[in-house]
Amino acid sequence: MSNFDWCKKAYDNHWATETQLQTWVSLNRLTPQEYFTITGDTLFLKTLVVDGKITTEEYKTITGIDYVV
């Protein structure tokens, strides 16, 4: 089972929270795209833009939404 599959199953079954998945993104075990696919959370992705971890273009590619402050 891949990290993505495990995280999706854990999140769907309420075994893992968004905060726990965010930690996995920080550890490069889950990509921002995979995180968004699992959670649909745009706020965390905005923090990644502010922190310089992803670009505004990457944000739009992942979410389909223009980055707005």
Instruction: List C-alpha distances in Å: 24 to 18, 19, 38, 65.
Output: 10, 9, 13, 23
Q: Which band of pLDDT confidence, cut at 50, 70 and 90, is reported for residue 69? A: confident
Domain ranges in the chain are 3-63
Evaluate if residue 50 carries a pLDDT over 90: yes
Q: Which residue has tokens 């273009």?
A: 57
pTM for this prediction = 0.92
Nearest CA among 64, 65, 33, 29 for reference residue 48: 33
